Structure 1
């Protein structure tokens, strides 16, 4: 049986899974143990950023004096994840160098089936392996927890099945070529039964009101939550919407709430500025069109508007706007979010909005939001 950890949503029980990041970290730790101790490892334990321990079965074990190899199969639990069941292999090799010059480090490389970044606007630089920052930390920590200092180790990750699996994901569109991404900020996969998940979000909303909060911060995910916590808001008043903006606004409308602040990454919140109230990419996009329209309204030149249409991600579009002194475009998008949300709520509840990016942090606030968030 797989990873036995469950969550209840909407009266139903769902089995949790673990991310490709946790999978790769498990394989890395197993390879490190075999290389150091020169013996086969059949099971491995990884502590995830969510503070949930995951025990995984180790496959394809091999070790010699200077090299070890181990594989772990990704288990997505009850989540319909494209990468469920993929085998991720790590090969760990000692690098022989002059010990007097040795600087302890783990050199991470990507092999077959692991994507590579080919376009800007993501969390990683062009040319890097598509192993996101948190999984990178997890993988390197997993090795360092086992191996002594003053060792230089080369760590190769590969997953041949990832070549075909990646074609079914958004990786090619985002400019991630050749395979899957190694992802996950919490290390754990929570099943996305839509109706049950939406109801669990609504429960959090009702609980916040029951605790006496009249001002709520609505975020799309973990990054928005971090921005709200950094601004001094209480965790209980920060409510996750995921992609279900319209659903959550309908629930807000049913409760005694005075004010909401929409805090979102540009790639999600810009859709709300265009009147899109389910932000899942399979249902609606229009990000470049909305940004370009606001650039045109702000008086941007034709070549600027054309450049925005050629840009790969919303994050990259923000970088472009800031480089061309067009901060006003982002301010106007904030105001458009407020206008669309207040219209949806028939102006019964006050709204403010905040836009951030992963690289720049907060980049724009709607009027009056300055009193809630520090921004220069």
Structure 2
């Protein structure tokens, strides 16, 4: 199915805003509705169905909206977002994190520490509702809860970012665009902002669990200094430089990072897969015969080349990979930062590291082993 044929949806921020509006209608107008239309900060209108409304008292109502992400594979899709609206006489709009909604604990995010993890986009949408329905002197406290939020948060980056207790209520437009690669990439960037705000001078980029485990368990790098990149290593390199990092260390499996050595910075196998070609080229530079090159070329995985490289005395290939990956990475960001590379096996054993990785490790006082 093409992306343009897929169904869009609405964000957790839209769910909370719709819940707030339905709650105010129930309390102020005695009107129980089964759907509402809300406005996003861009002036677009979004129709959101209401699952349930419970009028608790004359000043309090709880509204449940089921999150519908359309065809987007969102962890919150199908989960309930509960918004409790409480009227008061403060003349202000206030926000609280209910069960399953996180609280910000670190600087560097859109909201300061101590605030509910209800992002500026949803707050702006709720302010529109507040100004539309509340007369002078009326105040509203909006408490957003997600019953399954603590479980869902484990599938997000919230803990890494310093958001504790549940998920974030997010959305800049209130609308979910299905399969948005751009949206996923942008969701990775706050990791770097939090690191910088907490005084980190070196950004450690890890494509996945292998690099992360090695960095934390072997090298002694704190998880708060690491950012997951997924397949978007080039994008995260650029963002790290924009945010102000001058030293960057990339740690990951050779099968992923060998792609950087050939200048491929989107590492999904559909976008770039010249692993065997690169290994053959470096093996040839190490003196491999044509017969050995053919044998390597016919391997299906980088791991399956290891016995051949060891048998033929060609393990210098690993050093060539990291040296070239470092060079190409620095070129990619116009030499605006020093980039070190460490490549590993699937078991997390270090195969090689370049000189920049060693220098960065020594500067940061990490446990960088000697690799012969």
TM-score by length of 2: 0.52
Residue 31 (str. 1) matches residue 23 (str. 2): yes
Secondary structure class of the residue paired with 1:131: coil
Which of 146, 151, 163 in structure 2 is aligned with 1:164?
A: 151
Label 1:117 to 1:81 Cα distance change in 2 as closer, same or farther (>3 A). Answer: same
Secondary structure class of the residue paired with 1:138: helix
> How many matched pairs?
244
Q: Which residue of 1 aligns with 2:75?
A: 82
Secondary structure class of the residue paired with 1:34: helix
Q: Which residue of 1 aligns with 2:39?
A: 47
Give matches, 1:169-318, under 5 Å: 169-192=156-179, 221=186, 309=222, 311=224
Distance 2:186 2:161 in 1: 20
Label 1:346 to 1:265 Cα distance change in 2 as closer, same or farther (>3 A). Answer: closer
Q: Answer whether contact 1:273 1:340 (CA < 8 A) is retained.
A: no
Label 1:152 to 1:49 Cα distance change in 2 as closer, same or farther (>3 A). Answer: closer
C-alpha displacement of 1:84: 0.5
Label 1:115 to 1:340 Cα distance change in 2 as closer, same or farther (>3 A). Answer: farther
RMSD of aligned Cα (Å): 4.5
Render the CA deviation track for 1:132-165: whole Å, top value 9, x for unaligned: 1222222232232222221122221112111222
Give matches, 1:312-327, under 5 Å: none
Secondary structure class of the residue paired with 1:165: helix
C-alpha displacement of 1:352: 7.6
Unaligned runs of 5+ in 1: 1-6, 97-102, 202-219, 223-241, 244-263, 294-305, 315-326, 355-376
Which of 83, 107, 114 in structure 2 is aligned with 1:127?
A: 114
Label 1:165 to 1:344 Cα distance change in 2 as closer, same or farther (>3 A). Answer: same
Q: Answer whether contact 2:107 2:194 (CA < 8 A) is retained.
A: no
- Point out the structure with max Rg over C-alpha: 2
Secondary structure class of the residue paired with 1:15: coil
Q: Answer whether contact 1:115 1:177 (CA < 8 A) is retained.
A: yes
Distance 2:23 2:40 in 1: 18
Secondary structure class of the residue paired with 2:17: helix
Unaligned runs of 5+ in 2: 228-240, 251-322, 338-372
TM-score by length of 1: 0.52
Which of 96, 109, 132 in structure 2 is aligned with 1:109?
A: 96
Distance 2:112 2:136 in 1: 28
